[in-house]
């Protein structure tokens, strides 16, 4: 009995062992399969990655490796010179040293420490240095150097040279920077330069880091001609970033010179005559529209922008007397200089003839309000004498009969509100109509508005540039010229001038009236024999209670065969014949005396 039981147990034990052995082998097979799958997957990933690196991205990786070994050093191109119409320099270049960083030579943490050490040497906040690296193409992985300062001081240059071994990835390159020999002269025309902004870089993908472009004025308008093409010097470097071998050079190509219509001597005379007072002067060729003078005072030195512009510098340019503001392109109440427009509109509307006469008096009454003459009245006079003596009551009556719509129409034909030059901050004049006033101010038009408009007051605005264009149209027998600053545009601009539609008889009486202003009227100071006889119109425009009026003047000369038109505005200067007219006189002297030689 016991033996039977023992045999049965042995059989069960043997069966159990067989089952366990089969399960173990199956488990081992699964482990082997998983292991082989893992090996196969790993090898597959390696092969895939290897193929990707060598075949798919092989060229790109070769380029990256080459860039780690070969350092491209940018060679800035000299910007083209800017010259006046006679070839005299207005903007050029001078030797400078700029500081650049090679982002890959240090880690971001190391660069923060380096920036802290560079900051007191350069006078640039460490945060600004870091932000320049991060803003560059590629950031800390950029293969190109990042410009930190285009022009470092001699003191900084010496300090960096003495500590060269302590600044890994910091390099000083010799180059050139913009120079303005005449400092702030014609600054609002020339403008300034600066590093290309983000939108510039997007528009020009080929621009290198630190590309210098025009930011304002002619520097901006003619940037494509002035900028040239940057080159590069290729050198082989070792693991420490030191140059070991020169590999080649792509020469920079300098920009092309630009010649302006400005006359340097006349510009100097205009700015000297302004004497730092707030105001502006424009002079132009009456037949072509070539701008000979465009002065705005006070001015600024565009050379400031070749270096780092501090927040304090920028704030100073925007506040106070606002030297950054181009007053030659800002609107002013034109005062009595606008009587030229009112005269043209009155005659061309058919309400008056060139021979019409009107009774003048001490004042006229309208709606219970008295509008005064600046003297006791001149009796019965015509357009000729009304312009010569600047009679207000004469032009009040012309304006009331002609109407604001006609005045606005002819002002526009003569260039007010329609003249553009293409410079920054340019505004336009405006000659209101009842519809305009209702739309802008929600107020009805009154007869007093027409009276004010007729003598260039109230809502009337005109820029000195527009007043010069208006004056040129009278001088050249009725042609609206298009002002321009580039000599290359003169031929095309002369072809583009348009007829204003003024009748010869209208032009003649206005011209005679403007000559009479100089011969025996409010502009007699110009008739001193120092220059040929000219024609013109003074203006004194009210700018608010308790404030000194603006002084205005427009004119052209010679009276017999006009060549040059001038407009002057001096803020709070007082009488036009006292403050603005002498500025025009100084410009005339330079122009005419030189042409005598």
Give the tens place of pLDDT for each residue, 483-498: 999 999 998 888 889 9
Span 69-128, pLDDT tens digits: 676 777 788 899 999 999 999 999 988 888 889 898 889 999 999 999 999 999 889 999
Dihedral of alpha carbons 322, 327, 329, 333, sign: positive
How deeply is 334 buried, as exposed, middle or buried, from its count of CB atoms within 10 A (0-12, 13-18, 19+)? buried
Closest CA to 180 of 303, 276, 288: 303
pLDDT surpasses 70 at 514:
yes
pLDDT surpasses 60 at 5:
no
Query: Which positions ≥6 away from 558 have C-beta within 8 Å?
Result: 532, 533, 534, 592
Q: Output phi, psi for 358, to 5 deg.
A: -140, 145
Mean pLDDT, to the nearest integer, of 350-368? Answer: 95
Q: Output phi, psi for 594, to 5 deg.
A: -70, -40
Q: How far is CA 30 from the centre of its chain?
A: 76
State how far the Cα of 309 lies from the Cα of 547, in Å rounded to an integer: 35
* Beta strand extents in 9-150 (DSSP E only): 70-75, 82-83, 89-101, 146-149
State how far the Cα of 327 lies from the Cα of 461, in Å rounded to an integer: 13
CA angle 246, 252, 254 (to 5 degrees): 155
> What is the DSSP secondary structure assignment for residue 462, as one 8-state letter?
B
Q: How far is CA 70 from the centre of its chain?
A: 39
pLDDT surpasses 80 at 283:
yes
Dihedral of alpha carbons 333, 334, 335, 339, sign: negative
Per-residue confidence (pLDDT) for residue 521, from 0 to 100: 94
Return the CATH architecture of domain 329-596: 3-Layer(aba) Sandwich (3.40)
Per-residue confidence (pLDDT) for residue 3, from 0 to 100: 44
Mean pLDDT, to the nearest integer, of 131-154? Answer: 84
> What is the DSSP secondary structure assignment for residue 579, as one 8-state letter?
I
> What is the DSSP secondary structure assignment for residue 104, as one 8-state letter?
G
Mean pLDDT, to the nearest integer, of 305-332? Answer: 86
State how far the Cα of 119 lies from the Cα of 129, in Å rounded to an integer: 8
State how far the Cα of 286 lies from the Cα of 414, in Å rounded to an integer: 13
Closest CA to 289 of 63, 465, 79, 54: 465
State how far the Cα of 64 lies from the Cα of 67, in Å rounded to an integer: 5
CA angle 450, 453, 459 (to 5 degrees): 110
Per-residue confidence (pLDDT) for residue 238, from 0 to 100: 63
CA angle 86, 254, 182 (to 5 degrees): 40
592, 564 in Cβ contact below 8 A? no
The whole model's pTM is what? 0.81
State how far the Cα of 334 lies from the Cα of 314, in Å rounded to an integer: 31
Closest CA to 469 of 574, 589, 341, 577: 341
State how far the Cα of 429 lies from the Cα of 505, in Å rounded to an integer: 27
Just give the CATH number of 69-259.
Answer: 3.90.1310.10
Range scoring the smallest mean pLDDT among 49-58, 170-179, 186-195, 198-207: 49-58
Per-residue confidence (pLDDT) for residue 230, from 0 to 100: 84
**CA-derived radius of gyration, the chain:** 38
The total of other beta-carbon atoms located within 10 Å of residue 126's CB is 18
State how far the Cα of 44 lies from the Cα of 405, in Å rounded to an integer: 84
pLDDT surpasses 50 at 63:
no
Rounded to the nearest 10°, the torsion over CA 154, 156, 161, 163 is 160
Mean pLDDT, the chain, as a whole number?
88
Of all residues in the chain, the percent with pLDDT exceeding 70 is 88
Ranges 1-10, 30-39, 137-146, most confident: 137-146
CA angle 544, 549, 553 (to 5 degrees): 135
């Amino acid at each position: 009995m016991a033996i039977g039981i023992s045999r049965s147990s042995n059989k069960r034990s043997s069966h159990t062992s067989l089952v366990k052995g089969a399960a173990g082998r199956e488990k081992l097979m699964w482990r082997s399969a998983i292991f082989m799958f893992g090996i196969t997957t790993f090898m597959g990933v390696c092969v895939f990655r290897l193929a990707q690196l060598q075949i798919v991205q092989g060229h790109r990786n070769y380029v990256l490796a080459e860039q780690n070994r070969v350092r491209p050093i940018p060679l800035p191109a000299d910007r083209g010179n800017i010259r006046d119409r006679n070839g005299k320099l207005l903007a050029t270049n001078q030797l400078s040293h700029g500081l650049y960083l090679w982002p890959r030579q240090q880690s971001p943490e190391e660069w923060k420490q380096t920036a802290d050490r560079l900051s007191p040497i350069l006078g640039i906040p460490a945060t600004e240095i870091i932000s320049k690296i991060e803003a560059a193409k590629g950031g800390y992985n950029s293969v190109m150097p990042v410009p930190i300062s285009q022009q470092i001081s001699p003191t900084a240059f010496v300090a960096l040279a003495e500590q060269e071994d302590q600044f890994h990835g910091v390099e000083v390159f010799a180059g050139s920077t913009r120079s303005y020999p005449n400092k702030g002269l014609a600054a609002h025309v020339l403008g300034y330069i600066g590093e290309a902004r983000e939108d510039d870089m997007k528009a020009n993908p080929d621009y290198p880091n630190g590309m210098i472009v025009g930011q304002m004025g002619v520097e901006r308008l003619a940037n494509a001609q002035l900028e040239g093409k940057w080159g590069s010097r290729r050198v082989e470097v070792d693991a420490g970033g030191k140059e070991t071998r020169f590999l080649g050079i792509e020469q920079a190509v300098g920009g092309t010179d630009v010649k302006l219509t400005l006359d340097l001597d006349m510009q100097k005379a205009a700015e000297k005559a302004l004497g730092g007072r707030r105001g502006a002067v424009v002079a132009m060729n009456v037949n072509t529209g070539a701008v000979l003078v465009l002065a705005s005072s006070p001015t600024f030195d565009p050379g400031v922008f070749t270096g780092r512009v501090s927040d304090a510098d920028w704030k100073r340019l925007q506040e106070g007397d606002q030297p950054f503001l181009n007053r030659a392109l800002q609107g002013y109440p034109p005062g009595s200089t606008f009587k030229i427009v009112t005269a043209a509109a009155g005659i061309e509307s058919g309400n008056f003839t060139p021979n019409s006469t009107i009774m003048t008096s001490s004042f006229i009454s309208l709606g219970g309000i008295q509008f005064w003459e600046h003297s006791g009245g001149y009796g019965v006079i015509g357009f000729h004498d009304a312009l010569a003596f600047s009679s207000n009551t004469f032009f009040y009556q012309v304006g009331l009969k002609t109407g604001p719509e006609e005045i606005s129409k002819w002002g526009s034909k003569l260039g007010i509100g329609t003249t553009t030059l293409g410079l920054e901050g340019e505004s336009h004049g405006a000659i209101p109509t009842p519809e305009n006033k209702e739309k802008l101010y929600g107020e009805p038009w009154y007869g007093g508005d027409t009276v004010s408009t007729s003598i260039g007051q109230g809502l009337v605005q005109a820029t000195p540039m527009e007043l010069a264009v208006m004056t040129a149209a009278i001088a050249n027998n009725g042609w609206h010229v298009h002002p321009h600053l580039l000599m290359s545009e003169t031929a095309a601009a002369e072809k583009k001038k348009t007829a204003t539609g003024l009748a010869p008889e209208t032009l003649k009486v206005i011209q005679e009236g403007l000559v009479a202003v100089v011969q025996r009227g409010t502009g007699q100071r110009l008739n001193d024999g120092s220059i040929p006889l000219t024609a013109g119109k003074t203006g004194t425009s009210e700018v608010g209670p308790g404030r000194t009026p603006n002084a205005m003047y427009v004119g052209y000369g010679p009276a017999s065969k006009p060549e040059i038109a001038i407009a002057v505005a001096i803020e709070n200067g007082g009488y036009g014949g006292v403050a603005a007219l002498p500025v025009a006189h100084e410009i005339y002297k330079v122009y005419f005396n030189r042409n005598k030689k």
